[in-house]
Amino acid sequence: MTTPQTVQVRILDKEYQVQCPPDEKAALQNSAQLLDERMREARKSGSVIGLERIAVMVALNLSYDLTKAEAGASAVDTNKKALSRIDRKLVKALQKLK
């Protein structure tokens, strides 16, 4: 088991220290960068005022994106299973023809 390390990330010009396993450092930094970009976009749009509201709106949008991606992945998995069943049936049918 590896010891978590402290990683410093910057979001909307504020520094945050977050602990994570060493092998997840890059993913954490990428996530923080995405969050920073989305929060800056929300702040720039002017439709959301206040750091807390910006954070909540961005979190909601990211959560929605994640839910959509998971649903898409589930549909792909379902399609793979259906294609696999069809493939097995085709193989059996071709074997019977031989």
pLDDT digits 0-9 by tens, 34-92: 999 999 999 998 877 888 899 999 999 999 998 998 888 777 777 778 878 887 887 88
If you count DSSP H runs as helices and E runs as strands, how many of each does the chain have, helices first? 2, 2
CATH number at residue 69: 3.30.160.880
Q: In the prediction, which pLDDT does 52 show?
A: 87
Q: How many domains, the chain?
A: 1
Average pLDDT, the chain: 88
Contacts 24+ apart (CB under 8 A), 40-49: 40/12, 43/12
Report which secondary-structure segment, H or E, holds 19: strand 14-20
Which range of residues forms the domain containing residue 27?
Answer: 5-97
Q: Output the pLDDT for position 1.
A: 66
